Structure formats: C-alpha cells, structure tokens
Amino acid sequence: MSAARRPPREFPEMPLDAPELRRILAGFVRNEVRKVGGERVVLGLSGGVDSSLAAFLAAEALGPANVLGIRMPYRTSSRESLEHAALVAEAIGIEIRTIEITPQIDAYFTAFPDAAAVRRGNKMARERMAILYDQSVVWRGLVLGTSNKTELLLGYGTIYGDTASALNPLGDLYKTQVWALSERVGIPAPVVRKAPSADLWHGQTDEDELGFTYREVDRLLYLLIDERWEEDEIAAAGFAPALVRRVAGMVRRSQFKRRPPVIAKVSARTIDHDFRYARDWGC
Amino acid sequence: MATTFTVGVAQVDCRLGDVEANLAIYERELREAKARGIDLLVFPELSLTGYFLKDLVPAVALDRESQVLRRLRELSRETVAFVAGAVEERPECRFYNAAMFFDGGELVHVHRKVYLPTYGLFDELRDLARGDRIRAFESRFGRAAMLLCEDLWHPSAAYVAALDGALTLIVPSASPIAGLGREVLPENAAYWQRANRVTAESYGVHLIYANRVGFEDGIGFWGGSEILGPAGEMLARAAYYEADMIAAEVSRAAVRRRRIVAPMIRDEDIDLTINELLRIRDRRAPAGAGAPPPAPVAARTPMRATTRKLGAKTRQTAKPAKTPRRR
C-alpha cells in the first residue's frame, strides 16, 4: 500500500496503548522463570529496540541484577549498535558483557570465501545463539528471546539462531507495538527511532531488504492473522493486492521456522502427535 | 440454615499437573479464610490440577478412593466449606472437569462441566467427558448451583439453575488473557463482567465468580474474581493479574428484597419455554443425517400449560435424551 492508496473503508487497527501490557509481560517473565526454579535470564543485546525492550521487561520482572546482556559483535558490526546496547544497559541498570564472534566466523568462512551474505548472517545468528546457551549455564539463567510477531510471521529470522530461546516476551507483539511500548517505558529515544537493522553490513536496514515498511506490513498482518480477514477482503480495504499475496505467502512458507522438526510417526505414541503435554509439565 | 454468610474467593495460581503442591495451596488458603471469618471459599476451575492438562488428565484425576479426595473432605471439617476445581474420575473411566462442593467433612455436590470449549486455544472435549446435568442443590447456606466457566456463556445454563431454585450461583473459571486491546482488561474479560452482572440481575441471585491468575505455557489468566449481589451490584472484586482473596456477605434477605422489586423469575413461563424448545428441537433435526432420532411422543404433543401435567411430561421427555449433538 503506497501512501497515495488510502484504504477506501474502515478496518480494525492493532491496539498500541494497552495499559496493562507491561505488567502482563513482566509477570510472564517472572512466572515462567521462577516456575523452573530460576531467578535469572541472559539475552543478546544488539542495540536495537527489540532486545532493549526485552531486557527492560526482564529487569522489571526479576530485578536488574538478575539480567545479563551480552553484546556479540562481528568486525563489520556498527559502532552505533555497540554504543546503543551500552546506553540501554546503563539506563536499565543491567550488567553488560562483550564477546566477539569475528574469529570463529572468519575461521569457518575461510573454507567458503564466496559464501553469500545470507549464509554469513545465518552463521552469525547461530553463533550468537550458541554463545547465549553456553553463557546461560555459567550465569544460571534462561535464554530470553527477542523475536517479535512480525519477524516470526514473516520468517525474517534465522531458524535455530535468533529465533531460539527459552522464553520470549515479545513474540505476540508486532514491531509497531514494540515501538509503542518501548516509547512508553522509556527506552532511550535514539534506539526506538532508528531504522531497524540486522546490522550484517554497513547501511543495511530491514525495511529496504523486505521491500515494505513495518508499519505497513503490521497493519496488513493484523488483519490477516488477528482479525482473520481473507486476502481479497484486505485488498478491498486498500492494500495492494500484490503485497497482500506476497505477505500471505511469506507467512505460509515460513511455517517450518515456527514449528519443531517433523517426526515420522511409527509407534503408538509419538512426541507432539499423541504424546501431548504442556511445556510447563516439565517444571 | 444460615441465611447470611460470608463467601470468599481464593484467586490463586497453581502448578500444572502437581496435585500435591496445589493441595498445599488449598490448605494455606483455607486456613487463611477461616482466620478471616469466611464461611465458604470458592477456588477457580481446575485449580487443584492446572488447566492445560492434555495427556495429564488421567494422572491428576480423583476417583472415589482417592486420598486427595479424603484430604479435601477433612479440610472442609478442619477449616471452612469450599468449592474445589478438579478432575473427577467416574467408575466407568470417564474424566470430568468438576466443581466439588465440600462442607463439614462431606462432598456435598459435584457439578460436571457441560460446555467444554473446543475452539481457539481450548481443547477440553478432546480430553474430558461432557457433563449431562445442571442441578441446584441444598447446602448449609441455602440452595445453590455451580456452573463451570464456559457453562455461564450459555445463558440456558444459568436459566436452568435459577429455575431449579438456586439463590447463589457459584462459577469457578480459568479465563485466559485473550484479545488485549486498549483497555485494562482483554475483550473476553470485559464480556465476563457483563455476563456476570446480567446473570445476577436477571435471575436475582448472588453470583460468585472465581478466576485464576498465573501463566501456563505463556497463556496468562487475568484474575478479577468478583462477588455480585442479586441486583447485579458489585460486592467485592479481586485484583487483576495477581493473586488475591476477596470476601463479601451474602444473604437470603438481599435476594428476597430484589425478587420483591423484580419478580421476573417468579413470572417465568416454564411451560411456554418447554413447548417452544420441544418444537425447535423437532425442527432442527439434522438434514441429510438419516432419519431424525425418534422424538418421544410427548415431545410432539403440544403441552398445555397446566403444571401438574407438565411435570409428568417433562420427566418423560427428559429421559430418552436423544437430543442430536451439535458438534
């Protein structure tokens, strides 16, 4: 939907100002961490708005002393990202550490010098995941996820990389909602207002790469997913039909990223098919 | 019979699948209720077991010989009367989502949830058997009825309970946060508050709504338990999203005052309702599903509005229970 194509009729918009959201999400973190006998979480701090908000909610839930933020820069990571991560950690009052990932990433790709940027980005995301899970043992804390609903629905993340975590307070918030809540709780403005980026190369932004803005796609996804509108109804509301088709296709094709691996059923009772327990069963 | 008593709600979290741990929570809450002068304490739906049970249902079910059931009976003698939310296992190996009313060392009444939601994030009908009756019962605190959560979203359930003489409706619930918008409460919670109020006011009953808090697999419960008077007035409301205990005085006198002013339940035309429902049941016999189940003769015969005859025919028509299931 371009700016010129205003929706011809009213359609429901996602709520941006749920007054109890902060309390509910902090309550979720506190409940899910303490229920497994824990007190702490660890997360990757990228300097972006998602990890900043997740860190804030965890600090509110568990106390800042129980939250560890780790910066994991590669040599091409922007200086600004590192500074923003430090700014956020200071504002929230949590401990921050830095673990470089350049040596191991470069060592791996000496064998594949022609590897494309996507492969390199995925490898970095999985290296960061591996570091967080390793550090979680030493810190005795759960790995806190920071993927938002927009990324998860579009599949704009690395499977077993940034999408991997023990618990995720942001997975039911669209990016637009992450921004709104971040502003409300006082995440430093430069972090909230900058263009979202995976920071894999200089000048990269999510929205350039995706070919649409988060604000546009979030309104579309809200109708498609939350309000269960049909694709042609969304197009009739003023969204470009090609964009509607493309986004719906992205949601469908990335379903595998949101599910555990497929298991071939041969026995009478198979994990996830007819062996059905809540995750909390294990607490 | 006590005509004025103090009813309370224990708005608790619980541990999924851990009946022993939850029994300890019950014991703690019951002792506190006794100290606070509460006569009857209502616990939320499935608060003895956790809600999203799936394959845990048989593991947490209480049969007649259960030691947990024995302990619950003892607790009602040692502390105060209470309503527990548990899974009941019947001798024929059916498992029910049950509300159990304990008083003075006895299990006085069991309500088995009739409307098991199986849509959205709910899957109760997959794991549990469906209750087949709604009954008011006599208690030390006057005639009462229990409805479990979704039961109250079917207006017919409260209607039956009220016509069966309940002065107090007890509604244990496990209502999740779903559809958080611009208000403090999610959409479904706002509906609950409207439904509770309208139900209490329509039938002139006290309504005790006991909801949970805490999270199971990321799904949170919003709390907000409430005790309403027979004019729909708020007597007590618990905190949202946090554990709490509330109490309020419930009295037959309040019901009496309300029913004098607004005697709708007295004027209810039960014969008309039954006749129309029988007609509708016949009309709704499913098309294409073979011959409709044979309706009892009485069902096809328009009834006259004489109470005596009606009573006999009601029993006849109720027994065959051939109502086609809608699911």
**Alpha-carbon distance A193 to nearest alpha carbon in chain B (angstroms):** 23
pLDDT at B320 over 90: no
pLDDT at B2 over 90: no
Q: Do A19 and B54 touch (CB under 8 A)?
A: no
Give me the pLDDT at residue B288, please: 56
Pairing of β B106-112 and β B95-103: antiparallel
Q: What is the pLDDT of residues B53-82, one digit of tens each?
A: 999 999 999 999 999 999 999 999 999 999
Strand-by-strand arrangement of the B136-137 sheet: B136-137, B144-146, B168-172, B206-210, B226-228, B234-237
**Alpha-carbon distance B212 to nearest alpha carbon in chain A (angstroms):** 14
> In residues, how long is chain A?
283
Chain B contact present for A35, CB below 8 A: yes
Q: How many CB pairs under 8 A join A and B?
A: 63
Give me the pLDDT at residue B322, please: 40
**Alpha-carbon distance B114 to nearest alpha carbon in chain A (angstroms):** 23
Q: For residue B52, give both structure tokens.
A: 């999203």
Q: Which of B181, B216, B240 sits opposite A15 (nearest CB)?
A: B181
Give me the pLDDT at residue A83, please: 97
Domain residue ranges in chain B? 4-266, 269-318
Q: What is the pLDDT of residues A1-56, one digit of tens each?
A: 444 455 556 788 999 988 899 999 999 999 999 999 999 999 999 999 999 999 99
Contacts of B16 in chain A (CB under 8 A): 278, 280-281, 283
User: Side chain identity at A63, as an amino acid letter?
Assistant: G
Q: What is the pLDDT of residues A193-216, one digit of tens each?
A: 999 998 877 788 999 989 999 999
Could you tell me if B234 and B201 are in contact, meaning their C-beta atoms sit under 8 angstroms apart? no
Q: How confident is the model at residue B292 (pLDDT cuts 50, 70, 90)?
A: low
Whole-angstrom distance, CA of residue A154 vs CA of residue A148: 10
pLDDT at B245 over 60: yes
Chain A contact present for B192, CB below 8 A: no
Q: What is the dihedral of CA A130, A131, A133, A138, to 10 degrees?
A: 150
Give me the pLDDT at residue B281, please: 95
pLDDT at A168 over 80: yes
Nearby residues of A277 by Cβ (< 8 Å), 6 or more positions away? B54, B55, B56
CA distances from B313 to A30, B144, B209, B274, B325 (A): 58, 26, 35, 10, 22
Whole-angstrom distance, CA of residue B81 vs CA of residue B42: 9
Domain B4-266 in CATH 3.30.1510.10? The answer is no
Contacts of A279 in chain B (CB under 8 A): 217
**Overall average pLDDT of the A218-242 stretch:** 96
Give me the pLDDT at residue A201, please: 77
Nearby residues of B323 by Cβ (< 8 Å), 6 or more positions away? B281
What average pLDDT does the structure give for chain B?
90
Q: Do B56 and A277 touch (CB under 8 A)?
A: yes
Whole-angstrom distance, CA of residue B298 vs CA of residue B312: 10
Q: What is the pLDDT of residues A173-197, one digit of tens each?
A: 999 999 999 999 999 999 999 999 9
Whole-angstrom distance, CA of residue A50 vs CA of residue A28: 17
Contacts of B242 in chain A (CB under 8 A): 27
**Overall average pLDDT of the A84-90 stretch:** 98
Q: For residue B244, give both structure tokens.
A: 């709490």
Q: Residue B274: which of B163, B195, B199 has the closest Cα?
A: B163
Give me the pLDDT at residue A141, please: 98
Give me the pLDDT at residue A282, please: 77
Distance in angstroms between the alpha carbons of the first and the last residue of chain A: 46
**Alpha-carbon distance A1 to nearest alpha carbon in chain B (angstroms):** 25
Contacts of A277 in chain B (CB under 8 A): 54-56
Whole-angstrom distance, CA of residue B59 vs CA of residue B327: 27
Q: Residue A278: which of B300, B160, B150, B53 has the closest Cα?
A: B53
Q: What is the pLDDT of residues A98-145, one digit of tens each?
A: 999 999 999 999 999 999 999 999 999 999 999 999 999 999 999 999
Q: Which helix (H) or strand (E) holds A270?
A: none
Please write down the HEC assignment for all residues of chain B.
Answer: CCCEEEEEEEECCCCCCCHHHHHHHHHHHHHHHHHCCCCEEECCCCCCCCCCCHHHHHHHCECCCCHHHHHHHHHHHHCCEEEEEEEEECCCCCEEEEEEEEECCEEEEEEECCCCCCCCCCCHHHHCECCCCCCEECCCCCCEEECCHHHHHCHHHHHHHHHCCCCEEEEECCCECCCCCCCCCCHHHHHHHHHHHHHHHHHCCEEEEECCEEEECCEEEEECCEEECCCCCEEEECCECCCEEEEEEEEHHHHHHHHHHCCHHHHCCHHHHHHHHHHHHHHCCCCCCCCCCCCCHHHHCCCCCCHHHHHHHHHHHHCCCCCCCCC
Q: For residue B268, give both structure tokens.
A: 């209810």
Give the CATH fold of the A21-207 domain.
Rossmann fold (3.40.50)
- SS3 (DSSP) at A44: strand
pLDDT at A283 over 80: no
**Alpha-carbon distance A108 to nearest alpha carbon in chain B (angstroms):** 37
Q: How confident is the model at residue B325 (pLDDT cuts 50, 70, 90)?
A: very low
Which single residue is written with the structure tokens 């019947």?
A: B90
pLDDT at B327 over 50: no
Chain B contact present for A276, CB below 8 A: yes
Best of A14, A24, A172, A226 to disrupt the B interface (most B CBs within 10 Å) is: A24
Q: What is the pLDDT of residues B90-148, one digit of tens each?
A: 999 999 999 999 999 999 999 999 999 999 999 999 999 999 999 999 999 999 999 99
Positive or negative CA dihedral for B7, B12, B15, B17?
positive
Domain residue ranges in chain A? 21-207
Chain A contact present for B55, CB below 8 A: yes
pLDDT at B159 over 70: yes
Q: Which of A15, A276, A281 sits opposite B182 (nearest CB)?
A: A15
**What radius of gyration do chain A's Cα atoms show?**
20
- SS3 (DSSP) at A97: strand
Nearby residues of A86 by Cβ (< 8 Å), 6 or more positions away? A71, A96
pLDDT at B15 over 90: yes
Chain A contact present for B128, CB below 8 A: no
CB-count burial class (<10 Å; 0-12, 13-18, 19+) for B41: buried
pLDDT at B326 over 90: no
What percent of chain B shows pLDDT beyond 90?
83
Q: Which of B52, B180, B182 sits opposite A278 (nearest CB)?
A: B52
Chain A contact present for B16, CB below 8 A: yes
Contacts of A283 in chain B (CB under 8 A): 15-16
Give me the pLDDT at residue B295, please: 53
Enter the DSSP assignment of A42. Answer: E
pLDDT at B317 over 80: no
Contacts of B180 in chain A (CB under 8 A): 15, 18, 20-21, 24
Enter the DSSP assignment of A145. Answer: P
